[in-house]
């Protein structure tokens, strides 16, 4: 995040960290002069490797198109290198992966541990 925020400031934009708001992007960066907004998703890797976008992030990339950017920070641990991809929904071809974790509780346990009503 620090690398991305610093880059935005260096380019004359005003970035704001909105990552805690679960909006589908981490930074909203405004260029007052051009009246432009960038919606930036930041992904960092200690070395070099793939990054994963959530469904929410991908949907926002599709919605905001050219205003959405993926900032991938490679080698973040030793020598950060920032790669920017404008409109990743149209410019990248991700591999869709289904990686959902669920917890299955057997009915026997529910019956044994649960309180039966009526």
Phi, psi at 53, each rounded to 5°: -105, 145
Looking at CATH, the fold of the domain delimited by 2-113 is given as: Trna Endonuclease; Chain: A, domain 1 (3.40.1350)
Contact status, residue 57 vs residue 40, Cβ threshold 8 Å = no
Q: What is the mean pLDDT of residues 15-35?
A: 96
pLDDT at 101: 80
Half-sphere exposure for 20 (CA within 13 Å, toward CB): 2
Q: Considering the chain, what is the average pLDDT of its residues?
A: 94
Contact status, residue 71 vs residue 4, Cβ threshold 8 Å = yes
Phi, psi at 95, each rounded to 5°: -90, 120
Q: What is the pLDDT of residues 30-52, one digit of tens each?
A: 999 999 999 999 999 999 999 99
Sorted by where each begins, the domain ranges of the chain are 2-113
pLDDT at 66: 98
CA angle (16, 20, 25) in 5-degree steps: 65
- Length of the chain as a residue count: 118
Contact status, residue 15 vs residue 28, Cβ threshold 8 Å = yes
CA 28 to chain centre: 12
Confidence of residue 63 (pLDDT cuts 50, 70, 90): very high
């Amino acid at each position: 995040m620090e690398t991305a925020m610093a880059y935005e400031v260096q380019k004359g934009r005003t970035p704001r960290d909105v990552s805690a708001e679960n909006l589908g992007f981490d930074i909203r960066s405004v260029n007052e002069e051009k009246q432009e907004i960038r919606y930036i998703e930041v992904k960092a890797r200690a070395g070099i490797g793939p990054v994963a976008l959530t469904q929410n992030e991908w949907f926002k990339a599709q919605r905001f198109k050219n205003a959405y950017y993926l900032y991938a920070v490679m080698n973040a641990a030793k020598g950060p290198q920032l790669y920017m991809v404008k409109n990743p929904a149209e410019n990248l071809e991700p591999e869709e992966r289904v990686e959902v974790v669920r917890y299955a509780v057997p009915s026997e346990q529910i019956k044994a541990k649960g309180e039966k009503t009526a």
